[in-house]
Amino acid sequence: EARGGMIQPPVVIVGAGRVGLSLARALTRLEEPVRLLGRAARPAGPGVPAVEAEWGEALAVAGLVIIAAPDDAIAAVVERLVAVSAIREATVVLHTSGMHDASVLAPLEAQGAATGSWHPLQSIPDGDRADRFLGVPAVLEGDEVAVLVARALAVRLEMAPILELPASAKPRYHAAAVFAANYLVVLNGIAERL
């Protein structure tokens, strides 16, 4: 049970893409117990636990569940989490999307989970840097308990600054991030061609 802004181990990360692997690597470096869930069991590389395909047992002991899936896959992950019925009451579930607010996790909230979002404001490239989140801004949103735990996670990873947003600000925040990151790359490309 994750209460009072503490990260209760183990942390279960659902999604073994760039964000999930980077987060697992960073938490493992800090000696936090981590379990990594995906569609198929496989080794995940140095400094990261193997990806597990059987979700039920891992979720049943999770203190914090982080959905590190692409924006358009979050709803399907939530569906599977609901179907597995392993989320305990008062488990904190966060997703890493900059676009969605906590409402995408509503079916898990209905099962008693505290829900929110924890978004690192940085693109996450492939690679094995264990300090990937050091000094990266963290943007948090969700219910009170989820935001406290998301803040504890950001502090543990030495992220800065740590910003809290209401759900209503998430679309504007996402648009600003797209302009700042994606459009800057396009603008640079056009400048190079010119």
Q: Is the pLDDT of residue 180 over 70?
A: no
Segments in the chain forming alpha helices (H): 18-29, 56-60, 74-84, 106-109, 144-156, 170-178, 184-193
What integer pLDDT is reported at residue 2 of this predicted model? 44
Q: What is the mean pLDDT of the chain?
A: 87
Question: Scanning the structure block, which residue is given the tokens 């995940």?
Answer: 44
Digit-coded pLDDT (tens) for 39-86: 888 887 877 888 998 999 999 999 899 999 999 999 999 999 999 888
pTM, full prediction: 0.88
* Out of 75-79, 96-100, 119-123, 189-193, least confident range: 189-193
25 burial via Cβ count (<10 Å: 0-12, 13-18, 19+): buried
Digit-coded pLDDT (tens) for 154-165: 999 999 999 888
Cis peptide, bond prior to residue 10, ω within 30 of zero: yes
DSSP labels for 61-93? T-SEEEE---GGGHHHHHHHHHHHT-PPTT-EE
177 vs 60, more confident: 60
Q: What is the 8-class DSSP label of residue 169?
A: G
* Separation of alpha carbons 115 and 169, rounded Å: 17
* Out of 69-73, 130-134, 145-149, 169-173, least confident range: 169-173
Answer whether 155's CB lies under 8 Å from 180's CB: no
